[in-house]
């Protein structure tokens, strides 16, 4: 049934009709057929003319004009797929289905812009189906299809699953194996991450499939669970006949469902993923500030101040650049203040580069000014007391009178703020006193009410009101450590009943303080310091804030009692996950991904202690017991600054405690009575790395290691190329990133070098783990 006439001799309509007759419902495109960019009238169509593949002039129009080979719905819109991800060709370009079986898009110059990659696979036909799917098939079936290679749109009947990506400029959309749907900027910043109710990060779902039902329901299907989850209904769900609905990732980075009536050529938006367009990361480009103008709902992109200029004045979305680069600044570098503005930060960024601190608004600006790696900062006034330090040099801003935050961006002085529209200013001045009055009276009403409420709530709790008042005040004022009375801590721990553990410095109990926050209370032993000295140390510890450090909430210093109150870490300490415990051989086990993140997090916490915080602190007791895990298994280093508390009084005590408690982690210089420096922490940290990989204590000796120290044996196995032998047996069968394991082990062997000067600094260790630098072969540790 081969058609031997040259297809180009036939007009398209005739060709289509002939083929339809022969092939029944599908219009088959035979090898050798070509569509020319200059003839936008010519197309390949689906059997009932529901979809057409043809060249469309690229918009906004260019000169000379350019074209994309696109599949469109009847009527001309929406476009559902384009060859080569929307690649454009000039008017000499063409799309050809070669006799070798591949479909190619060629530019006027003759260069191939896109190739379906299906040559010599026996492909004998190309078909545009009624559902919009362009399929290349051989005798055995489909070899390539546009549904499997989507550009920026999904149509009904299309299965969108793990591994497929919709792209539009720097933005991308994908389905994760966990079942989450995510929108990312530049493949790195997820600015929309829709988890499902039963988000099963732990479960390995086999390819969840996203589908848009013709009626307008966007749903995820889990073949494994035979479960369907509705992600969204389009607002015109179930309405109309002959309506095509598509899911499209737009060039503004937002994901929308559009509806189009057949033949109308128009589309209407029926659902949008990110409701506030300004929350799309990078929408206004680098250094761009997104905002809304009262009179229109579409966002506007501007520059932070007159210290900046638009990269492309004709396209405000391309972002802004400094008129004077910071490197070339001869004057003073200063922080430009933007009220009601924030620089967008989405959760995983915290982990890529810890950027979140508990510091006040002025520190948030000053710290950024002082740090050469910081470009901008945002201080939240939403009660969280957080400050985001932006060290990435891509900054995406959002300004809106409703935002409870203030942002700062580094500029070469003098600061030249954008002049506010003068009309609006006058307007405000006139109304200013009215507003002030209204605000003041509202505030006093609120205070009276609040006071009443407080009195009403708390008068029945004896001996508690005064303290609680002090507690709240302090908390909102500064984040300074809270001074608890011994009695209150006794009460909040129910008489020191629930013991969490026995640290080197004293026992730790679980408690619940006034505002229902769960805390860990540490009863220090052997501290005989005076009140003043103790308070000084406490304030140093509590002013040390970092995402990878356990936060000190408060303290108690009363008579001989010295207690510290920390935030409670739900998942306890790392050791309970690493080492097999006879009593509870339960399923407490962390897979490699978590282990690696914990190693990196702890390294970042220590880097902060050693190199970045104001009063640098040597931890002196780094070990898995002092690395705590929060509910998301983020590592937080605890007990920092305590060694100093004790050493001030009793040096012997410290050494003894540590030796007793932490055999195996002490750097050689400790035992040799040489000066202890941050490099001693590096040594201990190196031992922790080894334990994270192996799940065994570094000093363990067994038959397997021929009764040698585990660390020595591990190095030898590593040198022999037997990395797998070192890895924890309980995880070795899982999917493991061996490249990461290798980096961790190399970093480990450098850290546990006998000579402190041979060991890297913690910031270098972070770089090693992140794979930013190459790691040389380490010499044998002893």
Of 781, 619, 770, 772, whose CA–CA distance to 690 is shortest? 781
Q: Which of residues 758-777 bind ligand NAG (CB under 6 A)?
A: none
Query: Rounded to an integer, what distance in angstroms lies between the CA atom of residue 132 and that of residue 322?
Result: 47
Two tokens at 345? 């930060």
C-alpha pair distances (Å), 770 with each of 82, 353, 593, 739, 773: 37, 10, 13, 11, 8
- Count of CB atoms situated within 10 Å of the CB of 614: 9
Q: Which parts of 656-739 are beta strand (E)? A: none
Q: Is 266 in the site for ligand NAG (CB under 6 A)?
A: no
Is 522 annotated as belonging to a binding site?
A: yes
Q: Which of 204, 373, 425, 436 lies at the binding interface for ligand NAG (CB under 6 A)?
A: 204
Ramachandran class of 771: left when φ > 0, alpha when ψ lies in -120 to 50, beta otherwise? left
In 3D, which of 347, 407, 417 has the Cα closest to residue 377? Answer: 407
Take residue 701 and report the two structure tokens written for it.
């000796």
250 phi/psi in degrees, rounded to 5 = -80, 165
Find the shortest distance in angstroms from Cβ 553 to ligand NAG: 5
Q: Which of 462, 515, 673, 733 binds ligand NAG (CB under 6 A)?
A: 515
* Contact window for ligand NAG (CB under 6 A) among 392-400, 665-673, 718-726, 771-779: 718-726
Residue 678 contacts residue 762 (beta carbons within 8 Å): yes
Query: Which CB, 122 or 452, lies closer to ligand NAG?
Result: 122
Q: x/- site string to ligand NAG, residues 469 to 508, per CB under 6 A?
A: ------x---------------------------------
**The two structure tokens encoding residue 648:** 């001030």
Which tokens sit at 695? 């799940």
Asked if residue 94 lies in contact with residue 38, where contact means CB atoms within 8 angstroms, the answer is no
Shortest Å, Cβ 6 to ligand NAG: 21
Using CB under 6 A as the binding rule, whether residue 704 contacts ligand NAG is answered as yes
Residue 428: CB partners within 8 Å, gap ≥ 6?
none
Within 44-63, which residues bind ligand NAG (CB under 6 A)?
47-48
Quote the least distance from Cβ 757 to ligand NAG, whole Å. Answer: 32
Binding of ligand NAG at residue 180 (CB under 6 A)?
A: yes
> To the nearest whole angstrom, how small is the minimum distance from the Cβ of residue 85 to ligand NAG?
11
121 is a site residue for ligand NAG (CB under 6 A)? yes
| Given 34, 125, 188, 194, the residue binding ligand NAG (CB under 6 A) | 194
Mask 90-109, x = binds ligand NAG (CB under 6 A)?
A: x----------------xxx
**69 versus 553: smaller Cβ distance to ligand NAG:** 553
Report yes or no: 236 and 246 within 8 Å, Cβ to Cβ. Answer: no
How far, in Å, CA of 246 to CA of 243, rounded? Answer: 10
Task: Determine whether 621 is an active site residue.
Answer: yes
- Nearest distance from C-beta of residue 696 to ligand NAG, angstroms: 11
Structure tokens, 37: 């960019």
In order of 283, 288, 303, 413, 733, the CA distances from 319 in angstroms are: 9, 5, 7, 20, 47
Residue 406: beta bridge partners? 339, 379
Per rule CB under 6 A, is residue 393 in the interface with ligand NAG? no
Of 94 and 577, CB closest to ligand NAG: 94
Q: CA-CA distance, 741 to 406, in Å (whole number)? A: 41
Q: Single out the residue of 41, 314, 584, 585 in contact with ligand NAG (rule: CB under 6 A).
A: 41
C-beta of 438: minimal distance to ligand NAG in Å?
26
Q: Which is nearer to ligand NAG, 241 or 673 (CB)?
A: 241
Catalytic residue among 152, 621, 639, 681: 621
Q: Based on the shown chain and the rule CB under 6 A, indicate whether residue 147 belongs to the binding site for ligand NAG.
A: yes
**Complete DSSP assignment for 97-138:** E-TTS-EEEE-TTS-EEEE-S-TTS---EEEE-TTS-EEEEE
Distances (CA, A) of 21 to 14, 28, 126, 138: 11, 11, 16, 21
Helical H segments across 1-114, by residue range: 12-23
Which CB, 37 or 412, lies closer to ligand NAG? 37
Closest to ligand NAG by CB, 27 vs 762, is 27
CB 636, min distance to ligand NAG, A: 14
State which of positions 309-368 bind ligand NAG (CB under 6 A).
none
Each residue 272-311 as x (binds ligand NAG by CB under 6 A) or -, in order, gives: ---------------------x-x----x-----------
Q: Which of 138, 219, 533, 758 binds ligand NAG (CB under 6 A)?
A: 138
Is-cis flag, bond preceding 414, omega within 30?
yes
Binding flag, residue 7, ligand NAG (CB under 6 A)? no
Do residues 18 and 72 touch, judged by C-beta distance below 8 A? Answer: no
Cis peptide before 712 (omega within 30 of 0): no
Q: How far is the CB of 30 from ligand NAG (least distance, A)?
A: 17
> Least distance in Å: CB of 520 to ligand NAG?
12
Site for ligand NAG in 737-756 (CB under 6 A): none
Give catalytic residue positions.
Answer: 621
Binding site for ligand NAG (CB under 6 A): 25, 41, 47-48, 87-90, 107-109, 111, 113, 121-122, 130, 133, 138-140, 143, 147, 157, 159, 176, 178, 180, 193-195, 197, 199, 201, 204, 206, 224, 293, 295, 300, 475, 515, 517, 553, 704, 717, 720, 722, 725, 735
- Binding-site positions for ATP: 522
């Amino acid at each position: 049934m081969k058609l031997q006439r040259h297809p180009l001799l036939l007009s398209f309509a005739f060709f289509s009709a002939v083929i339809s007759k022969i092939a029944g419902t599908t219009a088959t495109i035979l090898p050798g057929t070509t569509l020319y960019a200059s003839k936008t009238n010519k197309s390949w169509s689906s059997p009932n003319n529901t979809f057409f593949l043809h060249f469309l002039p690229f918009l906004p129009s260019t000169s000379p004009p350019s074209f994309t080979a696109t599949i469109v719905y009847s009527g001309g819109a929406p476009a559902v797929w384009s060859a080569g991800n929307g690649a454009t060709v000039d008017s000499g370009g063409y799309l050809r289905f070669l006799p070798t079986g591949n479909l190619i898009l060629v530019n006027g110059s003759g260069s191939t812009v896109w190739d379906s990659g299906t040559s010599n696979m026996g492909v004998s036909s190309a078909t545009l189906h009624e559902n919009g799917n362009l399929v290349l098939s051989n005798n055995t079936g489909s070899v390539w299809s546009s549904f499997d290679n989507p550009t920026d749109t999904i149509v009904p009947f299309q299965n969108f699953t793990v591994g497929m990506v919709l792209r539009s400029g720097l933005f991308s959309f994908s389905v994760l194996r966990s079942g989450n749907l995510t929108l990312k900027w530049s493949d790195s910043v997820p600015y929309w991450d829709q988890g499902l109710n039963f988000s099963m990060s732990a479960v390995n779902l086999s390819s969840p499939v996203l589908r848009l039902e013709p009626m307008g329901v966007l749903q995820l299907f889990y073949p494994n669970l035979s479960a369907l989850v509705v992600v969204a209904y389009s607002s015109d769900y179930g309405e109309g006949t002959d309506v095509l609905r598509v899911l499209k990732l737009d060039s503004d980075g937002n994901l929308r469902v559009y509806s189009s009536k057949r033949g109308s050529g128009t589309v209407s938006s029926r659902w949008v993923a990110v409701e506030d367009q300004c929350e799309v990361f990078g929408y206004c480009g680098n250094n761009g500030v997104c905002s809304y103008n009262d009179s229109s709902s579409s966002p506007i992109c501007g520059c932070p101040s007159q210290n900046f200029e638009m990269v492309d004045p004709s396209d405000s979305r391309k972002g802004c650049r400094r008129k004077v680069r910071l490197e070339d600044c001869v004057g003073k570098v200063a922080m430009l203040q933007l009220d009601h503005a924030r620089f967008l930060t989405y959760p995983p960024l915290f982990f890529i580069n810890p950027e979140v601190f508990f510091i006040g608004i002025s520190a948030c600006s000053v710290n950024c000014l002082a740090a050469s790696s910081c470009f901008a900062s945002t201080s939240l006034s939403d009660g969280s007391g957080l400050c985001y330090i932006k060290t990435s040099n891509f900054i995406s801003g959002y300004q809106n009178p409703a935002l409870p935050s203030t942002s700062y961006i580094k500029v070469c002085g003098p600061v030249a703020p954008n002049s506010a529209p003068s009309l609006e200013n006058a307007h405000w001045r006139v109304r200013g006193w009215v507003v002030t009055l209204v605000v003041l009276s509202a505030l006093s009403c609120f205070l009276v009410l609040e006071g009443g409420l407080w009195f009403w709530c708390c008068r029945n709790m004896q001996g508690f009101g005064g303290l609680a008042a002090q507690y709240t005040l302090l908390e909102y004022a500064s984040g300074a450590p809270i001074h608890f009375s011994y009695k209150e801590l006794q009460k909040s721990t129910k008489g020191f009943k629930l013991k969490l553990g026995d640290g080197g410095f004293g026992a730790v109990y679980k408690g619940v303080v006034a505002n229902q926050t769960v805390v860990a209370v540490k009863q220090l032993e052997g501290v005989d310091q005076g009140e003043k000295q103790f308070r000084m140390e406490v304030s140093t510890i509590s002013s040390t804030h970092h995402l990878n450090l356990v936060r000190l909430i408060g303290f108690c210093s009363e008579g001989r009692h010295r207690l510290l109150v920390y935030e409670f870490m739900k998942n306890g300490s790392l050791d309970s996950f690493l080492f097999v415990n006879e009593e509870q051989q339960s399923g407490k086990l962390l897979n490699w991904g978590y282990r690696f993140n914990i190693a990196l997090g702890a390294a970042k916490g220590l880097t902060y202690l050693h190199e970045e915080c104001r009063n640098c602190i040597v931890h002196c007791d780094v070990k898995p017991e002092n690395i705590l895990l929060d509910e998301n298994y983020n590592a937080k280093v605890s007990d920092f600054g305590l060694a100093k508390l004790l050493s001030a009084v009793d040096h012997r005590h410290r050494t003894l405690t540590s030796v007793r408690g932490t055999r195996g982690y002490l750097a050689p210089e400790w035992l040799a009575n040489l000066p202890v420096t941050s490099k001693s922490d590096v040594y201990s940290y190196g031992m922790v790395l080894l334990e994270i990989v192996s799940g065994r204590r570094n000093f363990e000796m067994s038959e397997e290691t021929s009764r040698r120290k585990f660390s020595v044996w591990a190095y030898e196995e590593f040198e022999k190329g037997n990395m797998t032998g070192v890895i924890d047996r309980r995880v070795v069968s899982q999917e493991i990133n061996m490249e990461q394991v290798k980096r961790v082990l190399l970093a480990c062997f450098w850290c546990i070098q006998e000579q402190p000067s041979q060991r890297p600094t913690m910031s270098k260790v972070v770089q090693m783990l992140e794979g930013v630098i190459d790691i040389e072969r380490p010499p044998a540790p002893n």
